[in-house]
Amino acid sequence: MAKKNVHITRRDRNLKLVNIALLVVTLISILPIATTILISFKEQADITRKPPIIFPCDTPTKSFDITACRWAVEGYQRVFAPKPSETALLGFELTGNLIRIYIPNTIMYAFFTALLVMLLASFSGFAFSRYDFRGHNALLTAIYAVTGVPLLTNLLALYQMTINMRKNLPFYDDRMFLIFVYIGFFLPISVWITKGFFDAIPRELEESALIEGCSPIGALFRVTMPLATPGLISVFLLTFVNVWNEFIVAYLLINKNEFKPAMFGLYDFLSQNIINLQVLAAACIIIASPMVILFLFTRKTFFKAMVEGAVKG
């Protein structure tokens, strides 16, 4: 009896150690984000102080006084640039480029890319999962091998293509081409992921739908796709986040200010605010927080697509 108790307390102690270790690791990994939030709420005078201080909470007599902290929203103000306006709902308008142009652009690019990638990937994922045709495996391997071409390698050519098309095609639109390029970049891995999801759905369900007189396309839309919805949503989310976070493609292929996505817009802030670190920090927080919030609500879905994509491909 006594021996059993010893065993239990030892296990308890081990779990406590694991808990503490995990807590420390988590705090360290969150630290860079916490400090960015801290910087974003500082005022200009505290940013450019020499020597720099970590908390803007010192007084002439004490080095740290929680009641004397000088917090400011100056950084956010300069990013949002609110201007009073009679017609707006809250009595002011946000005139900052980031909120007015760049983030709506990003949402548009990310949404359309993710939607089309999901659609195309589910078509070909379905075909690869359900049919055996000549060149099936070779094609699947080729689609995977394509992901091995580095982004910058393709961009060399795509960049020349945009230059030519801007000159020669009157209806050419940077935005449409950018979305097209994103689809091409994120489709191969998504095909593999969706194929994996379709493989997990039993064929019998479709077969019985076919026997009942459903067409193959109808079976795909009415039976298989609804069953694969969680998987398809995870492909959508993964692509959405990837496009949101993508920088170099847009940076090289977009040349008009009003078409820039947020990551490219952020680069503007970098060159304009060498010293105004609070503005930079605020811009980072504003751009990153929608994705973090999205992730917090849908993390299970994310993990599914991530593991599927990494192990299969």
Partner 1 sequence: MQQRTALQSFRYRWRKSLPFWLILPTIVVILIVQVYPAIYTGWLSLQEREPGGWLYVGTKNFDRLFAAGIFPESIGHTVVFLLGYTIFTLTLGFLIALLLKQNVRLSGLYITLLFIPWIIADVIAGLVFRLLVTPDYGLFSGILQNPALIPPNGLSVLTATRPAPWFGNFPFPPSPAMIYLILAASWRALPFVTLLILAALQTVPAEVIESARIDGATGFQLTRHITVPLILPAMVVALFNLIIGGMNGVGMVFSLTGGGPGTSTYVISYLLYVIGWGQLRFGRAAALALLIAFVNWILIFSILRMTRVNESRR
Positions 154 through 173 that interact with partner 1 (CB under 8 A): 154-161
Which stretch, 87-95, 168-176, 195-203, 302-310, contacts partner 1 (CB under 8 A)? 302-310
| C-beta of 84 vs 148, nearer to partner 1 | 148
C-alpha 226, offset from chain centre: 25
Is residue 188 involved in binding partner 1 (CB under 8 A)? Answer: yes
Is residue 114 involved in binding partner 1 (CB under 8 A)? Answer: no
Is residue 36 involved in binding partner 1 (CB under 8 A)? Answer: yes
Q: Using CB under 8 A, which of 108, 115, 146, 165 touches partner 1?
A: 146
What is the footprint of partner 1 within residues 245-264 (CB under 8 A)? 245-248, 252, 263
Q: How far apart are CA 37 and CA 25, in angstroms?
A: 19
Q: Using CB under 8 A, which of 9, 59, 95, 153 touches partner 1?
A: 153
Q: How far apart are CA 221 and CA 199, in angstroms?
A: 16
> Nearest CA to 200 among 238, 239, 233, 227?
227
Q: Using CB under 8 A, which of 9, 19, 229, 257 touches partner 1?
A: 19
> Nearest CA to 179 among 237, 251, 247, 113?
113
What is the footprint of partner 1 within residues 215-234 (CB under 8 A)? 215-217
Q: Using CB under 8 A, which of 98, 209, 280, 305 touches partner 1?
A: 280
Which stretch, 72-80, 96-104, 168-176, 275-283, contacts partner 1 (CB under 8 A)? 275-283
Q: Using CB under 8 A, which of 110, 118, 143, 232 touches partner 1?
A: 143
| C-beta of 23 vs 73, nearer to partner 1 | 23
Q: Using CB under 8 A, which of 145, 169, 176, 200 touches partner 1?
A: 145
